[in-house]
Structure 1
Amino acid sequence: MGFKSIRTKVSLLTLCVIIIAVMISAVLGVAVITRTGDEYARQSLRLLCETGEKNLDYYFNSVEQSVINVQAYVEADLTSLEDRELEAHLERVRGFFERTMGAANGALTYYYRIDPQVSENVEGFWYTNLDGSGFTEHEVTDIKLYDTANTDELVWFTVPKNTGRPVWLPPYVTDNLDVRVVSYNVPVYLGTEFVGVIGIEIDCSTMRNQVDNIRLYENGYAFVTDDTGNIVYHPFEDTLGNSDAMTLKAPEALMKDDGIIVYTFNGVRKEAVWKRLSNGMRLNVSVPVSETNKVSHRLMIQNILLMFVLLAVFIPVAARCSGRIVEPLRLLTSAVSKLSSDRFDFSLDYNADDEVGILTRTFRKLNEHLKLYITAVEADYRSIYYVDLDNDLAVCYRSDEKTDSGRDLDGTSGSFSEMSLWYAENRVSEADRKGFLDFLDPENIRSLLSGTSNISFRYQTSENRYEMIRIADLSKAEGRNDGMIRTVEIGISDVDRETNEELTKNHALSDALTQAKEASAAKTAFLNSMSHEIRTPMNAIIGYNNIALKDTSLSAETRGHLEKIKAAAAHLLGLINNILDMGHIESGRMTLKSEKFVLGDLLKQVNTMIGAQCSEKGIAYSCEVRGSAALTCIGDDMKLREVLINLLSNAVKYTMSPGTVSFITEETARFEDNVTLRFTVKDTGIGMDKDFIPKIFEPFSQEKNDCGGMFG
């Protein structure tokens, strides 16, 4: 079937999937094995180190407890620092020392030394057990030969004395016995006065025995360092290149924080873990990385062998199964290819209950539905034609019409241009005939179909019925992808009922629009008429008020009232003029005056009206002019006054007593004879919702809020 067959592709894909899956499994297995092996080795290191730490700490803690018990006993027995009492005191505590200190595991010496500054004659005692036969008293060191204030000398005595605390001293070689020991020393006090030191020295061999028992794999071992990295004990001291282990340093990497440490020593890569002992030293457990990886390497080899075995088993099985799976898919692919070419001569008999079977049955149903759909679509057309534009050939697939001789048009063919001309002259109304022929021009069809898959044209027949002609491109459906439109399908359908319904709706909409315009015009005329009628008495009021103001005998209070009437009447007249302006706005004849006016006079009129409103409502009102109020401006003072009064009136309306309303006029810019003024209105009222701000300049808009019932 060739390399491009679906069976070959599926087989190769299946093979690749199997190989990739096995390889991924192998890689993951190797990773898991490596991680598990590493984790197992590290857990072993931790567990071994923790066990050794507990054993050594138990040993050191038991020594500490023995010394602390003796210290408590000694301080309880000590009553005086006189020489005679000190001598008696030493005799009394010797027995307790022997019973307690002598029983301590690994004790090499124990001592109780008196500070020469307390007594020059009483020195204390020192017992040793070098051969293991029992403790015998030994000659004591003369402390008077040393500076007890210097902690670098006679450290077992000077450090407890100067620090006042119990202390474990790092391993050292005793001057008198030439033995490496570890000592624990505590100070003794009578009240607050330092008396001396009680101490015990432990042979390092006891610690060495416990450290030597810590082993892991073949070459894993433990060793002890002090807190600065000096090696206290190493099981292979003789091979470290220096016979004195006390002068050797542990690798610097081992001095890191607690945890698993990987380092290289003498060319060997190692893993180590350490724990701090109760006496301040550190127990280190180290093992070569190569030994921790042996188990992982063995498991990895087994995993790789298993991978090849699985490949050898699965590849033949996959090849056989892919053939059985692919064959129904190949048949289904062939059927889809035929259907895309408008061919229905195929058969699909695969009926298994798997996914391919479901897909095959679904495709069969889809094919049947497609046939029914094509039949139903074709039934909507009165006539269907296949047209070859290159050869001017038209073939009638199906038609409800008949020839002049009464013969069916189905299957007839002829010149496309001649058939179009005949149909236009015999069926299309004279008004739509030219448009019909232009639409069916081959070049026009190609031009229109270059941007879409189908086009249509509605026309009226000579019988005053509406028809629709639709044209669809068949070039791609026939497998041609050269970009040229060569063949099309033309269908003619009766759309008279739909068109008449659409025209009826359009006429109804047009009538409704006309009525709305007439109603709007009537409303405007009514407003204009009413405004003109109101202006006459309003002008009379203003006139008589002006006559009254000319009376020089008026009191100041009466003149003030008349001035307020004058300002209010002028504002009301302005509102009446606004109603007239509504008509002007709707007719596009709105104009603004360009007259001189004094800004201060305008502000005085505004303040007169607003001040009265605020006084009546119990609201504090303030007006501030930043700049010159004597400016002579050119503009429409009526419109400006109206805007300012509206803004301030709203502020008063929505501000409750006691509240404040402030009005600020300021000059923000000036250039030659031009000036920019800013008017600011502030109040302590309910304010405005942020969501309403974009709508503030829309006509007839008002914010709806819970205060509507209160303010109207």
Structure 2
Amino acid sequence: MKSIQTKFIALILGCVLLSSLVIGGAGIMNANQVVDKDSADIMNLMCSEKANELNGLFSCIEQSVNTVAVYANRELTDVKKFKTDPEYVREYTRRIQDIAVNAANNTQGALAVYVRYNPNFTSPTSGLFWSKTALDGRFQELPPTDFSRYSPDDVEHVGWYYLPVKSGQATWMAPYMNKNIQVEMISYVVPLYADNTTIGVVGMDIDFSLIKNSVNTIHVYDTGYAFLTDEQANIMYHRDIPAKTPMDSLESSLLPVADRLRSGGIGNYLFSYEWRGHRKRMALCSLKNGMRLAITAPSKEIDAAKNTLILQSSIALVSISALAVILTILMTRRLIKPLKELNEAAKKIAEGDLSVSLSHQTKDEVGMLADSFQQTVNHLQKYINYINGLAYRDGLTGVKNKTAYQETVANLEEKTRTGRPEFAMIVFDINNLKTINDTQGHDFGDILIIDSCKLICKVFKRSPVYRIGGDEFVVILENDDFENYEELLDRFNTALDDYNRHARPDGRISIARGIAIYEENVDLTVSDVFKRADDAMYQNKIQMKKRREKADRSGSGSNADLCPDGSTDRNPNGSTDRNPDR
């Protein structure tokens, strides 16, 4: 028969091993999910940032072309003459020529600019065409393309004109090779209309290497890179694949990616595929010119950190398990207490109770495990507190927000049902904030709110302060502050007077306030207390307004409402008894 000690040791060993496997497995699974999400976030963020950079370049080009188009439309004063008078057309071309060339000179990567007219009622070579004959050259006037030599269906030679006119909207043309200077270009063309008539187009040719160089600067992980496709999933630029190659003709695993590109959907996740026997993942973003930016990297590089973490976790799991077996056999009695403590702590955490404290008096691996466990709990508690702080803090002033106020009210409601709490509410309202925002700006108004909040917090530093509206604050008084509320209100009046005495005239603060004390036989809910305090505040506001108007009539100054308390009425409700709101 096995001894109880043997059975106990076997039980402990089984529990330790099982717990290690469960905790380690859960950690590995969690690490796997976290690393996958981080990888997707990294690649999608990089893709989005680079797409924004390229879109900024495209926006500058569009702005240059649109500027020329707007000027061209404005200078066209007589459409009828434009259709019938060649001399008018030549004069019109001379007027817009300088603007067009100047726009091209000031556009990064511009190689040519042109304004071409509708060949149906102008010469087939009418318009202007300025281009560089070398990358580092200057713009020169060249003969425009002769429309009469090509059919409107000849996309290769005159598609730059007929495609935007046919679509009726500004168009980014696909990259093409300019054989005159051996430079690949991409064009942006805007159709011109006047009196519901197609006048022509304004376009600009851009050095496509500018876009390619920007794409080539993208590097992710060790060998990750970027490339461009069009909206039909054809390669536009890739360091290894010829342009215009359909993506779905490369690998069958790219079919879903190609379908997604054609459907216009991008997503904020990574597309998995296989390329030349290697698993890869891809992030996609849409560009302003209709292209798609893709960033791709091998899965083994993306998962390298995850695999290392899993390996390290597995090694740690095996090592800890082996040590646990040895130490359990040699030190069963010593391990019972810390293991029980760990077990109890784990139960509390599983139930949502993070207020655990482990003594872990032993200095062995179990003690180290307990210490790590405690640190994890502490970090988790800090993180939860941080999240709660974001949820319950006002972003402008740093005091508690309306959500925190509502939760406090709910707690007070519970106290009123189960006991006889003693508390009071003070409602503060900043006067003239809308006027200040309208006349001096919202930034000045925000400063006024912050300074007002500081005054309130300075006086009521032991009581919670809540900002429940743009210019409204609530303070809930309990314990000593509740007992000494009159003294605190006097201190607030003094602090406000001192502030206004040293502030500039346009920086003085006027705050109306009202207080109400919870009365069991009067208030059915906490909201009733607030309403009485709010009513008292409005009465105080009315009194302040009257004093200000009286001071204005007597000529005592225009800032009477900024120091509304006077020397004879220090209580904001005109009363000093325990029920000042009545």
> Per the alignment, in what secondary structure is the counterpart of residue 215 of structure 1?
coil
CA distance in 2, matches of 1:92, 1:55: 34
> Per the alignment, in what secondary structure is the counterpart of residue 252 of structure 1?
helix
Match of 1:265 in 2: 275
Match of 1:313 in 2: 323
Amino acid at match of 1:43: D
Match of 2:151 in 1: 147
How far the C-alpha of 1:117 sits from its partner, in A, is 1.0
More strand by share: 1
Q: Is the 8 A contact 1:83 1:121 kept in 2?
A: no
Gap change, CA 1:158 and 1:41, over 3 Å in 2: same
Cα root mean square deviation, aligned: 2.2
Write out aligned runs for 1:212-611 (5 A): 212-235=216-239, 237=240, 240=241, 244-249=242-247, 251-255=254-258, 256=260, 257-258=265-266, 259-319=269-329, 322=332
How far the C-alpha of 1:122 sits from its partner, in A, is 5.8
Gap change, CA 1:212 and 1:26, over 3 Å in 2: same
CA distance in 1, matches of 2:106, 2:6: 87
> Per the alignment, in what secondary structure is the counterpart of residue 245 of structure 1?
coil
Match of 2:174 in 1: 170
Gap change, CA 1:34 and 1:115, over 3 Å in 2: same
Gaps of 5+ in 2: 249-253, 337-582
CA distance in 2, matches of 1:59, 1:88: 33
Match of 1:187 in 2: 191
Which whole-Å deviations, capped at 9, do the CAs of 1:462-516 have from their partners, x for residues lacking one?
xxxxxxxxxxxxxxxxxxxxxxxxxxxxxxxxxxxxxxxxxxxxxxxxxxxxxxx
CA distance in 1, matches of 2:228, 2:121: 38
Match of 2:200 in 1: 196
CA distance in 1, matches of 2:146, 2:307: 64
Match of 1:120 in 2: 123
CA distance in 2, matches of 1:153, 1:98: 23
Which whole-Å deviations, capped at 9, do the CAs of 1:404-463 have from their partners, x for residues lacking one?
xxxxxxxxxxxxxxxxxxxxxxxxxxxxxxxxxxxxxxxxxxxxxxxxxxxxxxxxxxxx
How far the C-alpha of 1:268 sits from its partner, in A, is 1.1
How far the C-alpha of 1:161 sits from its partner, in A, is 1.6
Amino acid at match of 2:86: D
> Per the alignment, in what secondary structure is the counterpart of residue 119 of structure 1?
coil
Gap change, CA 1:11 and 1:120, over 3 Å in 2: same
How far the C-alpha of 1:319 sits from its partner, in A, is 3.7
Match of 1:49 in 2: 47
Q: Is the 8 A contact 2:104 2:111 kept in 1?
A: no
1:111 maps onto 2:114 in alignment: yes
More helix by share: 2
CA distance in 1, matches of 2:322, 2:279: 39
| TM-score for the superposition, normalised by structure 2 | 0.52
Match of 2:165 in 1: 161
Amino acid at match of 2:94: E
Amino acid at match of 1:263: Y
| TM-score for the superposition, normalised by structure 1 | 0.43
Match of 1:540 in 2: none
CA distance in 2, matches of 1:282, 1:66: 23
Match of 1:210 in 2: 214
> Per the alignment, in what secondary structure is the counterpart of residue 152 of structure 2?
coil
CA distance in 2, matches of 1:30, 1:62: 48
> Per the alignment, in what secondary structure is the counterpart of residue 262 of structure 1?
strand
Amino acid at match of 1:117: N
Gap change, CA 1:7 and 1:121, over 3 Å in 2: closer
Instruction: Give the alignment partner of residue 139 of structure 2, picking from 135, 138, 141.
Output: 135
CA distance in 1, matches of 2:95, 2:178: 28
> Per the alignment, in what secondary structure is the counterpart of residue 228 of structure 1?
coil
Write out aligned runs for 1:17-32 (5 A): 17-32=15-30
Amino acid at match of 1:220: G
Percent identical among aligned pairs is 26
Amino acid at match of 2:204: I
Larger relative contact order, structure 1 or 2 (CA cutoff 8 Å, min sep 6): 2
Gap change, CA 1:321 and 1:199, over 3 Å in 2: same
How far the C-alpha of 1:172 sits from its partner, in A, is 2.1
Match of 1:74 in 2: 72
Gap change, CA 1:120 and 1:262, over 3 Å in 2: same
Q: Is the 8 A contact 2:125 2:144 kept in 1?
A: no
Between the two proteins, the alignment pairs up a number of residues equal to 318
